[in-house]
Structure 1
Amino acid sequence: MESLVDAVGGPTATAIGGIVIGIIFGYFAQRSRFCLRAAAIEFSRGQLGEKLAIWFIVFSTAVIGTQGLILLDEMSVNEARQLALPGSLSGALVGGLLFGSGMILARGCSSRMLVLSANGNLRSLLTGLVFAVVAQSSLRGLLSPVRSDIAGWWLLSPADLPILHLTGWGPLGGILIGCITLAGALWIARQHTIAHKVWLGAAVVGATVPLAWYFTFTVAGLSFDPIQTEALSFSGPSADTLMLVLSQPVPEMDFDVGLIPGVFLGSFLAAYFARELKLEGFSGGHSMKRYIVGAAFMGFGGMLAGGCAVGAGVTGGSIFTITAWTTLFMMWVGAGLTDLVVDRKQWVLQSL
């Protein structure tokens, strides 16, 4: 890795790493059908199904890998933005709820939309573009003041964010939580006779999170340029990628620049080799409105919460920040409530 940094410089090296790790994530996310929305629907309907098992395998692998590297003193995440900057608990509560609701309406979270877009799903392509536009507006545009106001309702200092430090559990406690979660997920996978290649693919998806943490941390230590220690996220990177396409001829190299096209390429290759490339569109105007509203909820909610289903839910969750775990919890709540009211309204009316 030192030779790579010496040859191309730290920023370009992180962009190359983003492409490679993105390809791995995209390929195996496509093959394993990794999706928080599908997992949340199964859970809200009282089902311990395949999608729930896949999500928890991804999550627990990310936790075990990240905390294992920290325990072995192979890396530190203290400079990651999730821990080094003040966190917004109000943003996590409201943003997580909006994001969870949005991913039900749009039938997929931001990472899932990117994966499906590469397979020829035009619904996901349009939804992803709307998501990126609203995310950019929430970050630096018209919606930015609203986001800032809500985020300012309840702020936490960096010292109040790390759960494992505050509880005294440390990395060993994080690894234990990850192992318990993984054992439960594998039990569910066995009950549903999920093929080994599927849950192993999910484990690879989860492993890309500690891989990204380790890669960016290592490059930061080797580079003379300031490099952010980070892992996978799709809200901010999607917004920045959109602006690069529209306005900046020469992008500033970083991990996020490579991640989005890498994931797209990885998913495309997976679908190509499996012969699953297929153009799909909307069935009618009503469904299009639903997808657009859902994308807008996710775009604003993701930027308000400081991350998407992967960025906050898995990446932030792997380093046990209070804001990330709050965001993840609220995503499950928002998804369950929206599924109940929108997609199971007949059941609600019958119950009343």
Structure 2
Amino acid sequence: MDLLSIVERIGEQPTAALFGLITGMVFGIAAQRSQFCLRAATVEFARGHMNDRVAVWLLTFSTAVVWVQGAQLLGLMRAEDARIMAVPGSWSGAIIGGTLFGIGMVLAKGCSGRLLVLAATGNLRSVVSGLIFAVVAQMSLHGVLAGWRDKLAAMWITDGGRNMDLLAFFHLPDWAGLAFGIATAALALELSRRNRIGFSRLVFASGVGFSVALGWVLTFGLSQIAFDPVQIESATFTGPSANTLMFFLEPNPILEFDVGLVPGVFLGSFLASSLAGEFKFQGFEGSSPMRRAMIGAALMGFGGMLAGGCAIGNGVTGGSVFAGTAWVALFFMWVGAMATDILIDQPGLRRLAA
């Protein structure tokens, strides 16, 4: 059955939601099995190590670039039509929001995507943090925090009414993005070899990157045949978490890619953890960790919405199409996360060791 037949059978909006579900399931399975986590990678790096978490994150990022740039060269998608590229970006939002998100993901012990994956494995701490993240994200989009978000984002925006395409800005050829991805993947594989990462984990880490390309290709294909405008997008969790929350609260909800993505990640991670015998319920170990996680989730909710995306939305999805503000946001997520670990977590560890 081809794409047009699917649309004719179930409609455009349900098809978009189905594509979100498929993308989310691939992401959830791959992320759960590979233990992909930007927070863990930044903490590892802040402590002077280049071990398995850094290697897995770098492999995921690089393979996303390879898959997405390869798909673009084959005509399966156009980065300039992507939602993140077609609207103005905010440099100030990327800097401030990225920093806040980085701080929050260390406090919450996981970025928004990682919290969703962990929640599906029975981690009740992640369920609470994820709900707070979604609520604050919605408040930052349409609620009481929206005014602050708008003011901070408007301080410094990209020129020309669009986001910056880094490849075009530096006048690089069409194949430059793919070449960069291959070179970065080679570095990731060398780190993986040094850390003796198993083959299956490498496959699943690259599977996370593949899920990002899958989302881009599916939504682009739908946009080419749909009667109504379709957002060309892929995996991200700030906006989708808020939209999924409202889908279950509004009287007349609308099906879209976002609404399928979040349940898809949850279902994929649940299936992967259950089949591996890793599903088990976990809770908070005291009031202090709970307060820390709640504060971190709130910072991620506001920071992610201000930055235009989470650690996945900016750090992998936006980065794979070389959106300027996505790369800036990713950089400041690393800065915020590393600073938080150095200033808050590492002193505590040294006191315990003394």
TM-score normalised to the size of structure 1? 0.96
For 2:136, the equivalent position in structure 1 comes to: 134
Shift of 1:74: 2.3
Moved over 4 A (4+): 346-349
2:169 to 166, 171, 178: 166
Distance, in Å, in 1 between the alignment partners of 2:286 and 2:295 is 15
For 1:152, the equivalent position in structure 2 comes to: 154
Distance, in Å, in 2 between the alignment partners of 1:32 and 1:160 is 32
Distance, in Å, in 2 between the alignment partners of 1:253 and 1:170 is 38
For 1:345, the equivalent position in structure 2 comes to: 347
2:273 to 271, 274, 294: 271
CA shift in 2, pair 1:346/1:288, >3 Å: closer
Shift of 1:118: 0.6
The answer to whether the 8 Å contact 2:55/2:192 transfers is yes
Counterpart residue type for residue 234 of structure 1? F
Matches for 1:1-352 after TM superposition, within 5 Å: 1-157=3-159, 158=161, 161-245=164-248, 247-346=249-348
Distance, in Å, in 2 between the alignment partners of 1:346 and 1:285 is 17
Counterpart residue type for residue 225 of structure 1? D
Counterpart residue type for residue 44 of structure 1? A
Distance, in Å, in 2 between the alignment partners of 1:181 and 1:46 is 20
Shift of 1:346: 4.8
Distance, in Å, in 2 between the alignment partners of 1:244 and 1:253 is 8
Distance, in Å, in 1 between the alignment partners of 2:162 and 2:263 is 35
Counterpart residue type for residue 100 of structure 1? G
Range with bigger deviation, 112-121 or 338-347 = 338-347
- 3-state SS in 2 of match to 1:171: coil
Question: Where do 5+ consecutive residues of structure 1 fail to align?
Answer: none
Distance, in Å, in 2 between the alignment partners of 1:217 and 1:181 is 26
The answer to whether the 8 Å contact 1:88/1:155 transfers is yes
- 3-state SS in 2 of match to 1:170: coil
Counterpart residue type for residue 189 of structure 2? L
The answer to whether the 8 Å contact 1:99/1:308 transfers is yes
Distance, in Å, in 2 between the alignment partners of 1:134 and 1:347 is 30
Shift of 1:162: 0.4
Distance, in Å, in 2 between the alignment partners of 1:32 and 1:171 is 31
- 3-state SS in 2 of match to 1:280: coil
The answer to whether the 8 Å contact 1:10/1:222 transfers is no
The answer to whether the 8 Å contact 1:70/1:171 transfers is no
Distance, in Å, in 1 between the alignment partners of 2:96 and 2:39 is 18
CA shift in 2, pair 1:276/1:160, >3 Å: closer
Counterpart residue type for residue 145 of structure 2? L
Distance, in Å, in 2 between the alignment partners of 1:248 and 1:30 is 31
Counterpart residue type for residue 271 of structure 2? L
Counterpart residue type for residue 187 of structure 2? G
Shift of 1:136: 0.4
- 3-state SS in 2 of match to 1:204: helix
- 3-state SS in 1 of match to 2:261: helix
CA RMSD of aligned residues (A): 1.4
Distance, in Å, in 1 between the alignment partners of 2:108 and 2:264 is 23
Counterpart residue type for residue 209 of structure 1? V
Shift of 1:251: 2.2
Shift of 1:316: 0.4
Distance, in Å, in 2 between the alignment partners of 1:117 and 1:242 is 15
The answer to whether the 8 Å contact 1:238/1:260 transfers is yes
CA shift in 2, pair 1:289/1:159, >3 Å: closer
Distance, in Å, in 1 between the alignment partners of 2:8 and 2:163 is 38
Shift of 1:348: 8.2
The answer to whether the 8 Å contact 1:104/1:339 transfers is yes
Shift of 1:210: 1.0
Distance, in Å, in 1 between the alignment partners of 2:221 and 2:278 is 37
